[in-house]
Structure 1
Amino acid sequence: MYVAVKGGERAIDNAHAWLAEERRGDTSVPELSVAQIREQMTLAVNRVMAEGSLYDPDLAALAIKQARGDLIEAIFLIRAYRTTLPRFGGSNPIETEDMACDRRVSATFKDAPGGQVLGPTFDYTHRLIDFKLAADGEAGDVAVAEPNTAATPHIMSFLDREDLIQTEPFGEEIPDDLTRTPLELPATRALRLQSLTRGDEGFILGMAYSTQRGYARNHAFVAELRIGAVAVEMDIPELGFAIEIGEITVTECETVNQFQGSKTQPPQFTRGYGLVFGMTERKAISMALVDRALRWKELGEDNLGAPAQDEEFVLYHSDNIQATGFLEHIKLPHYVDFQSELELIRKLRREAQDNISQEAAQ
């Protein structure tokens, strides 16, 4: 039972004022602008957009500033704001094969059409602190890289030509929108993917890592990882055709996994899939691994009891906003609850002491 605390408005106002002071920090240091966060903390902005389910770099940067760098709090702010926005319609599926790739790598085919594009990545850095970044002033001239404009067909299409990869059915029905309707189990794959793409990156990473360590026996190869800009189109009924309404940056990952086959299907590869806003490749790869682990039932595989195969466990615990709300509610007053527990403990202790005294007297 929770109880209302009266007379705390002044304390709450003071807490808000103190929070604003702490957020600003030392006033002798120039204030961090939203533009600086957007342009120089891009990966944090991308995570907030992805897990907040709203593609708006400026708003994500503003939320990070307001949240003092607490990304989960920033995601909460973005989701809350998102609920106030009107829904005008739905866009068409994006065509990732037409992506202008900033990064495109494959761990399965070395000489893929369109080439391997390393792009901006930490993969080959030495993970040493660069103290030059602490120096005041501009960093100097920086070469501006151009995105890859060569045709980059999906790697999976090569396996598909030989019928070596499972054919994915294309659903005609528009899937439910997880941001507007509650999750129900068992969930369709479309809903599972929505849940994973807005799930907490650390949680999804942990689940993916567990599959690699043997909890699901699910060895995967990254068939393709691509990051770049794609056009977003929307059908306009008055015009009778689709028009481009914007451009977004996404990360897409497809993994190749072994499949022993069944009575109706010969042995072939299956796939895991991840698609996330922005440059968020760790999340996209993790998502693809967990997606594949959750497909055990539809592929007729055995459930090995692995955490990543448990749909309810994964989907109900991956949302960091729900988890944060339930976790932090224990900070609220629980005076009545605790008093009842306290009285119970005192009663049990008295009874135990009486029993000890009686046994001693005998």
Structure 2
Amino acid sequence: MYVAVKGGERAIENAHAWLAEERRGDPEVAELSLAQIREQLSLAVNRVMAEGSLYDPDLAALAIKQARGDLIEAIFLIRAYRTTLPRFGASRAVDTGAMACDRRISATFKDAPGGQVLGPTFDYTHRLLDFKLAAEGAVPPAPSAPPRREPTPHITEFLGQEGLIQREPESEAAPHDLTREPLEFPADRALRLQSLARGDEGFVLGMAYSTQRGYARNHAFVGELRIGRVTVEMEIPELGFAIEIGEVELTECETVNQFKGSKTEPPQFTRGYGLVFGQSERKAISMALVDRALRWQELGEDNLGAPAQDEGFVLSHCDNIQATGFLEHIKLPHYVDFQSELELVRKLRREAEERIAPREAAE
């Protein structure tokens, strides 16, 4: 749009050159490598992969470097690149019960079957600046054991054996693909979860926090939170069976929620669910809380008018790429629009002055 302005094309080229210089920073300082970003800023890489809907740590690291650390810009770059990739097929649903867990905790059972694994977490740190990191000293190796390789059953399965938690309905129908089809309302649960997984972490966190503060009457326990790697398999028609094509790191959260029952359902626990790429437990927990809040209708609960219960509001505003595009477009030239508004305001002022002048003269 600026190209139409006199000298605009040259100004844009200069802006690009200046941006590249600012991105590089002081040339006396060593340039960041993609490996450094991937390995040492892994949580940022995980967020870009999750909200960009593309599992590739190297590309996510490149996007972060190109975006100068602006994660929403990096997510935009990843999504744009993703649209250029051919699609060869779809993988099987991953089995998170077979996850090799680096972290697996429960807030509902102290002696969880399979054990609890604290893993790499900030939960028990003092949140004080560690100035030893500024000295760039070597980090001693952790004494932790290797991740679990045997299958770890989900804790909610044990509640299910007693019939104490709602059994999730099974469907043979393939879920809609939000990356290929536009979002439509009403959205089924699979589509809602896709939207939340791609949604902005801060927005989803805010919605989840609102449910805890009473805006949805949604009291939850973290039944289980697990982080680890799962195998991805794909059916090969020519072979007639599935083969392993790789593995991905995932964070999964299941919340256990109080439910007093309804006209159609007995008193029991219900659940919220969150699943995202990489280590991103804040996002997974937030997803689970919002997922449960959005299930009010299928569970026969009352709609309290809480923002997190409003499917249209939540899903229409959680995508940071859509939000950024709509927000930032207003800084682009709107010369014609503004000139028309300017003329309208001037006309209204003249008409108002013409009405007021005779009245003042009469007085």
TM-score after normalising by structure 1: 0.97
Structure 2 CA distance for aligned equivalents of residues 91 and 61 of structure 1: 25
Shift of 1:354: 2.5
Distance 1:305-1:3 versus aligned 2 partners, 3 A rule:
farther
Please say which of residues 51-60 and 169-178 is displaced more in the overlay. 169-178
- d(CA) in 2 for partners of 1:144 and 1:6? 64
Q: Which moved more, 1:198-207 or 1:168-177?
A: 168-177
Residues 225 and 251, structure 2, Cα contact 8 Å, conserved in 1: yes
For the 8 Å contact 2:165–2:268, the answer to whether it is kept is yes
Q: 1:151 and 1:111 mapped to 2: Cα distance?
A: 17
Shift of 1:177: 0.8
Aligned to 1:178: 178
In the TM superposition, what whole-angstrom CA distance separates every residue of 1:103-139 from its partner, at most 9, and x where no partner exists?
Answer: 0000001101111110000001111011111114x42
Cross-structure match for 1:313? 313
- Superposed, 1:1-362 pairs within 5 Å as 4-5=4-5, 7-136=7-136, 138-143=137-142, 145=144, 146-362=146-362
**Residue 336 of structure 2: SS of its match in structure 1?**
helix
SS in 2 for 1:38: helix
Report the Cα offset of residue 2 of structure 1: 10
- Structure 2: 5+ residue stretches without partners: none
1:3 touches 1:335 (CA, 8 Å); kept in 2? no
TM-score with structure 2 setting the length: 0.97
Equivalent-residue separation in structure 1 for 2:350 and 2:294 (angstroms):
52
Question: What SS does the corresponding residue of 2:209 show, helix, strand or coil?
Answer: helix
Residue 263 of structure 1 aligns with an amino acid whose one-letter code is: K
How big is the alpha-carbon RMSD for the aligned residues of Structure 1 and Structure 2?
Answer: 1.4
Task: Decide whether the 8 Å contact of 1:2 with 1:334 is kept in 2.
Answer: no
The structural deviation recorded for 1:6 is: 5.3
CA contact (8 A) 1:3 1:334 kept: no
Could you tell me whether the CA contact under 8 Å between 2:2 and 2:9 is conserved in 1?
no
Q: CA deviation at 1:150?
A: 4.6
Letter in 1 for 2:141: V
Between 5-14 and 49-58, report the one with greater CA deviation: 5-14
Indicate conservation of the 8 Å contact 2:193/2:291, yes or no.
yes
Residue pair 2:98, 2:150 contacting (<8 A) in 1 also:
no
Q: Secondary structure at the match of 2:154?
A: coil
The residue type equivalent to 2:285 in the other structure is I
| Matching residue's letter, 1:48 | V
Which range moved further: 299-308 or 142-151? 142-151
Moved more, 50-59 or 236-245: 236-245
Q: Distance in 1 between matches of 2:302 and 2:5?
A: 52
Paired-residue identity, %: 81
Runs of 4+ deviating beyond 4 Å: 1-4
SS of 2:234's partner is strand
**Per-residue CA shift, 1:172-213, capped at 9, x if unaligned?**
111111001100000110000000000000000000000000
Unaligned runs of 5+ in 1: none
Does structure 2 conserve the Cα–Cα contact (< 8 Å) formed by 1:92 and 1:235? yes
> Shift in Å at residue 86 of structure 1?
0.4
State the Cα deviation string for residues 76-98 of structure 1 (Å, max 9, x = none).
00000000000000000000010
Bigger CA drift: 143-152 or 201-210? 143-152
Larger deviation, residues 114-123 vs 143-152: 143-152
